[in-house]
Amino acid sequence: MEKSRLNTCPIDDKYWEVLEEYSYETSKGLVVVPKGFRTDYASVPKIFRNIINTYGKHGRAAVVHDWLYSSQCKIDVTRAEADKIFLEIMVEWNVKKYKRILTISSKKSPISISGRWIAFFLFFIRYYGILKMIKDKNKGVDIMKTKIIKRAYKFRIYPTLEQISFFAKSFGCVRKVHNLMLDDRKKAYEEYKSTGIKTKYPTPAKYKEEYPYLKEVDSLALANAQLNLEKAYKNFLKNKDFGFPKYKCKSNPVQSYTTNNQNTIYIKDGYIKLPKLKSLVKIKLHRKIKGIIKSVTISKNSINHYFASILCEEEIEELAKTNKNIGIDLGIKEFATMSDCTKVENLKLSKEYEKKLKREQRKLSRRCKLAKDSDKKLSDSKNYQKQKKKVAKIHNKIRNKRKDFINKLSTKIINNHDIICIEDLNIKGMLKNHKLAKSISDVSWSEFVRQLEYKANWYGRKIVKVATFYPSSKTCSSCGNIKETLKLSERIYHCECCGLEIDRDYNASINILRKGLEILKEEKVS
């Protein structure tokens, strides 16, 4: 596992210099590549660098391998063991099989230069072929691009009572600093409006003298609270639609704080180490973490479950071209109707859990009334708190199901299409229709579009948004005739000009795709 980020600088056309000490945990123990070490990464002949670069995901393995081969290295490792470690690291970073074969053959010293060339050539003929090397238009090699992204992994954690107490203290201190700083900004904003004079805002360190208990928690958590508030405040100044930042409430069941990794966070044997905590916290790792840990957000939800959201910096490879484009029409009855005749049914989660939710919410209201009638605080009423947890569990189940559905659908669409055309919906305006507001909120179109956008950015796909008022449903996909009126109850589109009869949503998806491709052409011309 990578312990620090690899930072190198090219010296000439062959060698790179390691600028910072690089450490990697291998099966043979910790390997530390010193600052100033020179590497040639993977010794790939120039003619084949269109297929595989000298550096990339496999670069980490190459640097470690070069160091283990070096005479400067004092680790007792044979060349065969070094080659095994080389392969092991590439597997860990999901380097493709053909790249592993090419790089391992290029690094092994027993293979002569001529033999290496033959190995490369044979592999090229076997897996790529000459025809795949040539493109239709520019006769160039289709190179897969790599990029560094930040990805968050969310895991359930199981803290002890002592750790829960620490988390509660951290949540409270972050909330306190946020509210104090917001108070100062509010006063400064009022002063700025009247006098036009800007004032400097204090840092969390200022409040530690007045509130000594702030020293007991992670200082980075307090610093992040300041950064988050600054971001919210700047957004408000740029655009008043964001609204003025709000105070954090103690009674809010959802609480969180964020801390940064300064070689203080690591995962080992199903446990995670966090700053300011002497003991390790149990974590359920349902998937493998890739890249370098940058920060961790500890959160508690409404049913008192604790989570660790681990933000990692990792290198990913763009997906291969599919030469497929798609238009998507979002709806209520069908969540999505696509231009390839695919329909995705809506989960209708609110209807599924409606009866159960109503029943439990009525119980909650009754227990709330009983507590108030007996002059009890709601926090002291055990029956109320039990029932509140039951309601929260149902909401949590609905939320998780919806999230899972949207994640899987967006990933599938991104994997199988190069260009995705979608409507730029005015959801805020649509929610004003009180007859459909509940159904629109339930389908969560905004979250679906958000996931499509960031996944497209990661994997080299293109999202095209068609204007809100484009009449996709009223336009005939065959002849282009536009109807003046089209009722929502009319589910089959009848064209008066060409006689086309087609499903309304399918017709809209074809028009969205066509319009999206037109927008792309206009952008390329301009």
- The pairing of strands 292-300 and 306-317 is antiparallel
Assigned token pair, 449: 């579009």
Burial class (CB in 10 A: 0-12, 13-18, 19+), 71: exposed
Residue 136 CA to its chain's centroid (Å): 34
Are 279 and 163 within 8 A, CB to CB? yes
**Order of strands, sheet of 8-10, starting from the edge strand that comes earlier in the sequence:** 8-10, 16-18, 38-39
pLDDT in tens, the chain (526 residues): 777 777 776 665 567 777 778 888 887 788 888 888 878 776 655 444 444 555 566 677 888 888 888 877 877 778 788 878 887 877 787 776 656 666 655 554 444 444 455 555 545 544 444 444 444 444 444 455 788 899 999 999 999 999 999 999 999 999 999 999 999 888 888 887 777 777 777 788 889 888 999 999 999 999 999 999 999 988 988 888 888 899 999 888 899 999 999 888 999 889 999 999 989 999 999 998 888 899 999 999 999 999 999 999 988 888 989 999 999 999 888 899 999 888 998 888 878 888 999 999 999 999 999 999 988 888 888 999 999 999 999 999 999 999 999 999 999 999 999 999 999 888 777 777 777 788 878 888 889 999 999 999 999 999 999 988 888 888 998 888 888 888 888 888 888 888 888 888 999 999 999 999 999 988 887 6
What gap in Å lies between CA 23 and CA 37, rounded to an integer?
13
What gap in Å lies between CA 383 and CA 387, rounded to an integer?
6
pLDDT of residue 101: 62
End-to-end Cα spacing for the chain: 47
Cα angle 310-314-316, degrees, rounded to a multiple of 5: 130
Write out the H or E segment, with its range, that includes residue 227: helix 219-238
Handedness of CA 190, 195, 196, 201 (dihedral sign): negative
Provide the 10 A C-beta neighbour count for residue 169.
16
Are 300 and 167 within 8 A, CB to CB? yes
**Helix, strand, coil: what percent of the chain each, to 5?**
45, 20, 35
Beta bridge partners of 2: 24
- DSSP state at residue 204: H
Are 149 and 316 within 8 A, CB to CB? yes
Provide the 10 A C-beta neighbour count for residue 464.
20
- Catalytically active residues are 329, 423, 505
Are 256 and 205 within 8 A, CB to CB? no
